[in-house]
Amino acid sequence: MRRIDMTLLDSGTKCVDPAEDLADRSGPNAARKVAIDRSLTDLSPVVFASLPRADQRRKGLMYLRGLLGATGRKSVRNIASFLGDQVNDQGLHHFINDSTWEWDPMREALGRHLVRRMAPQGYVLHPMVIPKSGAHSVGVARTFSWEHGQAVTAQQAIGVWGVSSHTAIPLSWWLHLPSHWTRGAPRGDRSSTPPETRPTTPEDSMVSAYLEAASRLRLPHRPVVLNAERLDGIRLVTKLSAAGLRHISRIATDTWLLPHDSALTGWGDSPLQAHQIAQLARNSRKRLALIPSGNPEASELVTAVRVRLPAALDSTERTHGRGDFLLLGIGRGGARWPEELWLTDMATADHAALLRLVGLSRRVECHGVPRAERVGIRDFVGRSFAGWHRHATLASVAHAAAELAELRLAT
């Protein structure tokens, strides 16, 4: 099996989303301000219900306004500068890094509220690399980033996104902790790292991120969608299936699979790489719309082949594998077809429905992640585990406020 660090990558997907961020589209005008204020008015009683003190609720609201309004990096210093005399930076720093308030109740309240309101069609697990200049922030390690094309010193986080055809909002965040953060190596500040945390692989973290969110937020059952192109795809889909989850994952072109379709020309008992299987089925491609719009430019050429997961792939053993899966080859039909390969355990599902789930992942990449960056998800400058999660939780609230404000303006 391959062992590759979890990274956020440039998948090659061309992001064309008409729903641009409010700040980019309309600037700081009166309509945007009113929409943001109304969203914050709606969300504040929900997310701040667990804060026992009025001064904590006030600082929380000020922090949200700074995440939504400050220019540049959303550090405590820049947020305090944007707010002026409303709050001092030391008090705001303490509120995020050293206070005792728990982020879990706030995150749970936000997630449950959003799920009821947005009715997600699926949950997208999306890894994010957060480069750091130093090695002392919690979870920082040296890793290769496909996003930057070089080794970087970075944190690695996983967002659990609720996604519909019109919205993409992070419901929960998981911070991946490399082994030296959980084995007592004398490095960095581990004062608030949970003692029960055990070393995990990136694939373990991906699955744990979803299972924790599903349990805490009582998520209604929906398919799980993720990009595993730079991960151990076989290990990951095996873990997802073992957890009883319906799932569809983008996989690397060189992932070994066993064709399980007697109608496929050239198939046999030996495993093939995923792109080879898709090429064997090239003549069976059908053109389907990613999101039905009547626009032929929005359609994709899709082929689907039944496959199984190899149980062993070394030179001495070739077994018949396990599980019934469907391999989707997707692309516009050019010389590089297939441009994407997706593996799902929903082998009998309608192909157009599967393609719509693929569209949820693209919505997170094209629309959700840029908005999350604009409200500061990568900008936490402290060191502690608790501080990171407090910042990430408030960044999710700010993200939801911006998303809900956009929906207000669109109706």
Average pLDDT over residues 245-269: 87
pLDDT tens digit sequence for 80-102: 999 988 888 898 999 999 888 99
Q: Distance between CA atoms of 215 and 395, rounded to whole angstroms?
A: 21
Residue 221 DSSP code: P
Contact 77, 88 (CB under 8 A): no
Place of tokens 């990274």: 7
For the whole model, what pTM was predicted?
A: 0.86
Give residue 198's pLDDT band: very low, low, confident or very high (50, 70, 90).
low
Single-letter residue type at 382: G
Average pLDDT over residues 330-349: 89
Place of tokens 């001064």: 55
pLDDT at residue 298, rounded to an integer: 59
Q: Tell whether the torsion through CA atoms of 79, 85, 87 and 91 is positive or negative.
A: positive
- pLDDT of 11 higher than 60: no
Contact 228, 220 (CB under 8 A): no
Residue 366 DSSP code: I
Q: Distance between CA atoms of 51 and 340, rounded to whole angstroms?
A: 45
Task: Give which of 373, 3, 6 is closest to 174, Cα–Cα.
Answer: 6
pLDDT tens digit sequence for 159-187: 999 999 889 999 999 998 887 776 654 34
pLDDT tens digit sequence for 278-293: 988 887 777 776 554 3
Across 116-120, 230-234, 393-397, the highest mean pLDDT is recorded for 393-397
Give residue 106's pLDDT band: very low, low, confident or very high (50, 70, 90).
very high
Residue 20, helix vs strand vs coil = coil
Calculate what percentage of the chain has a pLDDT beyond 70. 81
pLDDT tens digit sequence for 111-132: 999 999 999 999 999 999 888 8
Least confident of 200-204, 313-317, 333-337: 313-317
pLDDT tens digit sequence for 350-391: 998 999 999 999 999 999 999 999 999 999 988 889 999 999
pLDDT at residue 61, rounded to an integer: 95
Residue with more model confidence, 194 or 320: 194
| Rounded to 5°, angle at Cα 208 from 205 and 214 | 145
